[in-house]
Amino acid sequence: MKRKTTLSTLALALVTLFASSASAKPSVAPGVANFDAKSGAAFAHKGKIGATKIASMFLASKADIARARAGLAAFLKKKRPARSPRLHRKLSKTVVQIVGFVTKGGERRLLMNHLCDTKWHRKWRKVPIFVDDGGDCYFSVEYRLKKGTYLNLQINGEA
């Protein structure tokens, strides 16, 4: 009986270890997936995130993510993007994928990739999601950690 319990405990430990290594990184808050350099590498294309040349990528801290998310609604409300002037109202209905990166100039930034439809993207916590079209259900924005400002807001178009 003791051997059976030990094997069950070992099996549970292995399943837990495999499950935790298979995902991007543990969520830092509900609706947030935080990617490190390895799991978030797909966000970069030809050494760039969007039009920004990058030097490296990193796992964002909980504090950095909280700061970046805290001011986003106010930024969107003030900016009132032409394609979606009420985008700030949709934030509570989105989930966000976050990856930290360092620009070639040494500036630390976060890329926040928002999506509202997880029905078709069930692995959003594990893999970067890229969608063509979809309207303002899919948008991304960068956050400058040192300056506390947002830039490069990209809202998907509609087919």
Distance of alpha carbon 24 from the chain centroid: 10
DSSP 8-state class, residue 158:
-
Distance of alpha carbon 140 from the chain centroid: 9
Q: pLDDT value at position 27?
A: 53
Domain boundaries, the chain: 24-155
Asked if 98 contacts 33 with a C-beta cutoff of 8 angstroms, the reply is yes
pLDDT at 53 over 90: yes
- What angle in degrees, to the nearest 10, is found between the helix axes of 72-79 and 62-70? 30
**Which amino acid would we find at residue 59?**
L
Give the best-scoring range by mean pLDDT among 45-49, 63-67, 76-80, 89-93.
63-67
pTM of the model: 0.77
Among candidate residues 101, 125, 118, 113, the one with its CA nearest the CA of residue 153: 113
Least confident among 12-26, 72-86, 102-116, 142-156: 12-26
Residues in the chain, how many? Answer: 159
Token duo for residue 34? 């935080």
Q: Give dist(CA 60, CA 110) in Å, integer.
A: 7
pLDDT in tens, 124-138: 888 887 777 776 788
